[in-house]
Amino acid sequence: MAVKILGCENDYLIPARIEDAKPMLQAMRPGFYDDLRFFEKPVTLERQEKYLRRMTESEKDFLFCVMNNGLLIGTAGLHECDFESGNARIGTLIFDPEIQGRGHGAMAVQLIVHQAFDKMGLSKVYVNVLTDFPTTHAYYEWLKFKRECRLEREYLLRGELHDLLRLRIFAEEWRDIFETG
């Protein structure tokens, strides 16, 4: 079942399936993952299928394909959902650098947050970003997320521990934004 993204009739999310591994790889432009620091190894079909299998079998992770005019262009997810405490981590990724910055990621964030608050009843969502990605921090602040804390030596990447910045938004803040426009 497709879930339409508000305000952009050509963009929508659908739940990810293991069969989406090949279209995901095809949507990734050559060298896509070379610039992304969190990919330790190249993305292969086998690796992507394993990841999608883990996501589809998880009771705490919900991954969606970001679609534009019927083409898979990225992913958006709710991860580590803690239904008792009411929070989850979000993540979005638009695969093709040529279409990044055109609003698809922002729409995906809006829908995944809507899914978390209005469909799943969560009260807080957050995103963790490497501290040396200031453009990403500014992007989430533009989306009305607030800086919550710095997580020191939190993320092991290529043998080195890195600091993360956690940004969050609460359900009532989100609803205020949409009620006032």
What backbone phi and psi angles, to 5 degrees, belong to 143?
Answer: -85, 10
User: What pLDDT, on a 0 to 100 scale, did the predictor assign at position 103?
Assistant: 80
**What CA–CA distance (Å, rounded) separates 113 from 90?**
8
User: What pLDDT, on a 0 to 100 scale, did the predictor assign at position 9?
Assistant: 66
3-180 fold: Aminopeptidase (3.40.630)
User: What pLDDT, on a 0 to 100 scale, did the predictor assign at position 40?
Assistant: 65
User: What pLDDT, on a 0 to 100 scale, did the predictor assign at position 181?
Assistant: 45
Residues of the chain with pLDDT under 70: 1-9, 30-40, 178-181
At 124, list the tokens. 């807080």
Q: What is the pLDDT of residues 29-80, one digit of tens each?
A: 766 665 555 566 777 889 889 999 999 999 999 999 999 888 999 999 999 9
Locate the domains of the chain by residue range. Answer: 3-180
Name residue 20's amino acid.
D
Is the C-alpha dihedral spanning 137, 92, 123, 13 positive or negative? positive
Name residue 123's amino acid.
S
